[in-house]
Structure 1
Amino acid sequence: MLPRSPVGIRRIVGRHVDRVYRRVFRVHRRDWLSAIAFGFRLAPVAAPSGLGTRGPVLTTIAGVLEPPAQGDWVALTGEALPVSKASAWVTTSRAGAVVCFLGVVRDHSEGRSGVTGLTYEAYESEAERRLREVAAETRRRWPVVERIALLHRVGELELSEPSVAVVVSAPHRPEAFEAARFAIDTLKETVPIWKREHWDGGSDWATCAHSVRPVREAESAGRAR
Structure 2
Amino acid sequence: MKEVDRIEVCETPLNVAAEYAALQGNSGDGACALFVGSVRDFNAGRDVCGLNLEYYPGMTEKSLQGIARDARRRWPLGRVTIVHRVGPMQINDEIVFVGVTSPHRQAAFAACQYIMDRLKTEAPFWKREAVADQAGNAIERWVEARASDVAEMEKWSAG
Band the TM-score falls in, shorter-chain normalisation: 0.7 to 0.9
Q: 1:97 aligns with which of 13, 16, 31?
A: 31
Q: State the distance in 1 between where 2:120 and 2:109 align.
A: 17
Q: Give the length in aligned residue pairs.
A: 147
Q: Does residue 86 of structure 2 align to residue 149 of structure 1?
A: no
- Per-residue CA deviations over 1:90-140 (Å, capped at 9, x if unaligned) read 222211111110111111112x31101100000111100000000000000
Counterpart in the other structure of 1:164: 96
What runs of 5+ residues in structure 1 fail to find an aligned partner?
A: 1-69, 211-217
Q: Detail structure 1 runs of 4+ shifted over 6 Å in the superposition.
A: none
List aligned pairs for 1:50-61, cutoff 5 A.
Answer: none
SS across alignment from 2:34: strand
- Per-residue CA deviations over 1:65-92 (Å, capped at 9, x if unaligned) read xxxxx74100100001122122111222
- If asked which structure has higher relative contact order (CA below 8 Å, sep 6+), I would say 2
- Per-residue CA deviations over 1:22-41 (Å, capped at 9, x if unaligned) read xxxxxxxxxxxxxxxxxxxx
CA distance 1:220–1:103, change in 2 (3 Å): farther
CA distance 1:134–1:126, change in 2 (3 Å): same
Q: Does residue 114 of structure 2 align to residue 206 of structure 1?
A: no
List aligned pairs for 1:23-34, cutoff 5 A.
Answer: none
Please give the TM-score of this superposition, normalised by the length of structure 2: 0.84
Q: 1:87 aligns with which of 17, 20, 37?
A: 20
Contact 1:99-1:176 within 8 A present in 2 as well: yes
Counterpart in the other structure of 2:125: 193
Counterpart in the other structure of 1:109: 43
Contact 1:122-1:193 within 8 A present in 2 as well: yes
- Quick check: which one's helix share is greater? 2
Counterpart in the other structure of 2:108: 176
Q: State the distance in 1 between where 2:11 and 2:19 align.
A: 16
Q: Which structure has the bigger radius of gyration?
A: 1
**Percent of pairs identical after alignment?**
32
Q: CA RMSD in A?
A: 2.2
SS across alignment from 1:181: helix
User: Match of 1:119, as an amino acid?
Assistant: N
User: Match of 1:157, as an amino acid?
Assistant: M
- Per-residue CA deviations over 1:4-35 (Å, capped at 9, x if unaligned) read xxxxxxxxxxxxxxxxxxxxxxxxxxxxxxxx
User: Match of 1:150, as an amino acid?
Assistant: I
- Quick check: which one's strand share is greater? 2
